[in-house]
Amino acid sequence: MSVVTLRYAHAFGDVAKAANLDAAIAQQQLKDFADTLNGSPELREFLMNPSVPATEKLRIVDAVVARIGVYPQVRNFIAIIMKNERFEDLHEILAEYAEVVDQQGNVSDAEVTTARPLQDDDRVELEARIATLAGGPIRATYHQDSTLLGGVIVRIGSTVYDGSVKGQLQQLKQKLVNA
């Protein structure tokens, strides 16, 4: 990621926060615009063509965002990206903005490893407990490892919580060896 995309993402994050926008909705609106741009080679070519006057490009951008339905701040951000000829950086800006949203919302990534697939109810309960450990909202990714025998291993950042049967057996073995 470049410094430029980071600046755009943080600038929009500040605008969205100051305007009390729902970050998830703003993020989705930007993604919808990016998907529209990627899905239409003609639109992409038109908007990225330096010989097309900015007023014509803005007219088309306004038509697209009106169809998608976006916050005025999202529309203005897209217009700035267009004016500064940064459409080629849009996906990087979106990726950076996702990180900005996570930072602003104190969202932690949690890597959850289980011996078997979990039911939806179990996932909800586990994620609630992990959120308590993390001290805020989490985004969980799940993996399976049948060698765990049972239980769960959770990694939040560099902290690992090992509640697996395999881990407990290894701790017991270590205690017996040390005794």
Distance of CA 47 to the CA centre of its chain: 26
Same domain, 90 and 143: no
On whether both 80 and 9 belong to a single domain, the answer is yes
Number of structural domains in the chain: 2
Domain boundary pick from 75, 104, 133: 104
Q: What is the pLDDT of residues 148-175, one digit of tens each?
A: 888 899 998 888 888 888 888 888 888 8
Give the CATH number, domain containing residue 62. Answer: 1.10.520.20
> What are the start-end ranges of the E strands in the chain?
108-114, 138-144, 152-156, 159-162
CA distance 134 to 128: 10
Per-residue pLDDT, averaged over 51-57, amounts to 93
| Final residue before a domain boundary, out of 104, 134, 160 | 104
Q: What is the mean pLDDT of residues 40-44?
A: 93
Q: What is the pLDDT of residues 117-133, one digit of tens each?
A: 989 998 999 899 999 98
| 70 and 140 assigned to the same domain | no
> Please, which pLDDT band fits residue 96 given cuts at 50, 70 and 90?
very high
Please check whether residues 50 and 118 belong to one and the same domain.
no
At residue 39 the predicted structure's pLDDT band, cuts being 50, 70 and 90, is: very high
Q: Residue 23 belongs to what domain range?
A: 3-104
65 plus 112 within the same structural domain: no
Please check the confidence at residue 1 and state whether its pLDDT lies above 70. no
| Same domain (yes/no): 10, 85 | yes
Structure confidence at residue 92 as a pLDDT band (50, 70, 90): very high
Same domain, 60 and 37: yes
Statement to judge: residues 99 and 174 lie in one domain: no
162: nearest Cα among 112, 109, 120, 108? 112
How does the average pLDDT of the chain come out, rounded? Answer: 90
Together in a domain, 28 and 54? yes
48 and 116 share a domain? Answer: no
Last residue of a domain, one of 50, 82, 104: 104
Write down the pTM of the prediction: 0.68
pLDDT at 23: 87
